[in-house]
Structure 1
Amino acid sequence: MQPTEWDLNPKFDFRDEHMVREGEKVSLAKIPTEFEGPFRGKEHGRAFAAHAIAEIQELQYRMYTEAKQSLLIVLQAPDAAGKDGLIRKVLGRMNPQGCRTYPFKVPSSLERAHDFLWRIHQATPAAGKVSIFNRSHYEDVLVVRVEDLVPKSVWKQRYEIINDFEKLLLHRGTRILKFYLHISPEEQLERFKKRLDEPTKHWKLNEGDYEARAKWGDYREAYEDVFEKCHSEDAPWHIIPADKKWYRDASVAAIVRDTFRDMDPQLPPLDADLDEIRRLYERELAKQ
């Protein structure tokens, strides 16, 4: 059965549903990790996502040719929440000429010799481009806090520095979307099992993942402070229920699509004499 217009455009505001409220203290324990929104199951959600991705591709092409605006997408999540899958299935479907993913891992010795935003700023998108951060500058108020890598007096100041950094990007014409993929510890453990059972995923296995599980509550508390201190209307956080992978993909696709719609990129005007171009084309055609 072909999807109906309602199937592809349900009357549901994904941004409003999942956006952190300004000034509101977030409790992740009270937010469900499993959600279906307006969808009638997996196939409906997947059809919607495919439709949204097609529109994202068109709008990204316009932004690339317009070369005035840019988009930064930040992905944060516990291990196995699906950042790689979301990039592969949704965000990575954009034209790579105008879109690049940056996986921020443990800083190198060179990166540690600079301020914590040095490596981040180099990866922000130029006009017309999209940057996707797989982990981000927020690791410097999350991992460093929970793992006690720097003193509290250091990481506590970074919230304000991050806010100023994002204001700078906004002033330059970069829209910012920040996503937290929200999964339960039970779902995470199930995904760890799949990694153990599937040899092609063994490269993802890491003893540190289990050490981080022991600090689940500490990481949640650190994230909750991030949502409170580093959220704004212009650089919003969205908390995406991610136990169902298909809903994760559909909701993020919807939010990215709607953001592109708001940006409303336009194809640049023709900078040539159209009649002359046609004349040259017809001349070349006549030679064949």
Structure 2
Amino acid sequence: MKQIDHSEFKVSEKIQLKITKTKIDLDASGAEIKDAMKEIRKDLGDWQDKLYAHGKYSVLICLQGMDTSGKDSLIREVFKDFNSRGVVVHSFKVPSEKELKHDFLWRHYIALPERGKFGVFNRTHYENVLVTRVHPGYILNENLPEINNIEDIDENFWEARFENIRNFEKHVAENGTVIFKFFLHLSKEEQRQRLLRRLDKPSKNWKFSPGDLKERKLWAEYQECYEDAINRTSTKKAPWYVIPADDKNTARYLVAKTLYSELVKYKDVKEPELDPEIKKNIAEYREQLHLEKI
């Protein structure tokens, strides 16, 4: 299988999505990619155990992408070998009545992973500068001061919101949260094929909504908003990775490889040393258990 430098997907300068790859050839069969995936997700699971024992960092993984980009199945496959107590997934839907009574980042703050754990945001705080930007009328539901109609939502409003997001990520990163942001970059044609599969397979029909077709008509607007959001918010502490997502197996592998390659750089993450007094008496504890009557 071709060796891939995961850093080529990292956004370190301004990008244009229309000329960014949605597919990449790993020079490997589907079976070979799946085998490589099994190895790296086991390594990730072992590293997560050390993170849990170490207890000083948390890891936040943000997944964004157009409908059908494969976020749900990626979560299932990448984290399959994790201890279930060490990873928590949050899928953010339309804000509830209670959530709308708080600032737009509130529900994301309270869902942040504890130290020692991974947190996965399936759709993220970026929905607040993506969906709301394509459909600015949604902002009116937030009942914000000085925002009384759509005309009040100007470029200054969006820049302030991007600044809030950058500050949010800077704050949590400075307090021990390692942040990864992945945009699953899907082509419009591949989305069409995946929507057709949802219609053609009875077992997948439940995933389809006529709303998917309405949003698809706004493809260009969404791509423009994604590109702007990524360019404005990819920082050293909270970088974006644009992952070619036309092939699901490849996308999953690239995400897992990126995570592991970056996380092993944290050399201080290791199991804590056993208390010297306990370590000194291990032989005695072992003998007690061997002599114990069952």
TM-score (norm 1): 0.91
SS at 1:93's partner residue?
Answer: coil
Q: Kindly indicate whether the alpha-carbon contact (under 8 Å) linking 1:141 and 1:156 is maintained by their aligned counterparts in 2.
A: no
Structure 1 distance, partners of 2:200, 2:235, is 41
Give the residue type in structure 1 aligned to 2:110. Answer: Q
Structure 2 distance, partners of 1:34, 1:200, is 27
Runs of 4 or more consecutive aligned structure 1 residues displaced over 3 Å after TM superposition: 152-156
Task: Please give the per-residue CA displacement for 1:54-76, whole angstroms capped at 9, x wherever unaligned.
Answer: 10011011001110111000000
Match of 1:48 among 36, 58, 65: 36
Structure 2 distance, partners of 1:111, 1:97, is 26
RMSD: 1.5
Identity across matched positions, percent: 37
Task: Please give the per-residue CA displacement for 1:125-155, whole angstroms capped at 9, x wherever unaligned.
Answer: 1111110000000000000000122323533
Kindly tell me: are residues 195 and 73 of structure 1, through their superposed partners in 2, closer, same or farther at Cα, counting changes over 3 Å?
same
How far did residue 248 of structure 1 move?
A: 0.4
How far did residue 92 of structure 1 move?
A: 4.4
TM-score (norm 2): 0.90
Are 2:230 and 1:195 aligned? no
Match of 2:9 among 7, 18, 33: 18
Kindly tell me: are residues 93 and 286 of structure 1, through their superposed partners in 2, closer, same or farther at Cα, counting changes over 3 Å?
closer
Structure 1, unaligned runs of 5 or more: 1-6
Structure 2 distance, partners of 1:45, 1:270, is 39
Give the residue type in structure 1 aligned to 2:189. Answer: E
* 140-149 or 269-278, larger mean C-alpha shift: 269-278
Structure 2 distance, partners of 1:189, 1:11, is 30
Are 2:21 and 1:32 aligned? yes
How far did residue 284 of structure 1 move?
A: 3.2
1:76 aligns with 64
Kindly tell me: are residues 200 and 263 of structure 1, through their superposed partners in 2, closer, same or farther at Cα, counting changes over 3 Å?
farther
Structure 2, unaligned runs of 5 or more: 140-152
SS at 2:231's partner residue?
Answer: helix
SS at 1:20's partner residue?
Answer: coil
Q: Kindly indicate whether the alpha-carbon contact (under 8 Å) linking 2:45 and 2:79 is maintained by their aligned counterparts in 1.
A: no
1:286 aligns with 291
How far did residue 273 of structure 1 move?
A: 1.5
2:244 aligns with 241
Give the residue type in structure 2 aligned to 1:35. Answer: I
Match of 1:266 among 259, 263, 270: 270
Structure 1 distance, partners of 2:180, 2:46, is 19
SS at 1:81's partner residue?
Answer: coil
Match of 2:281 among 253, 265, 276: 276
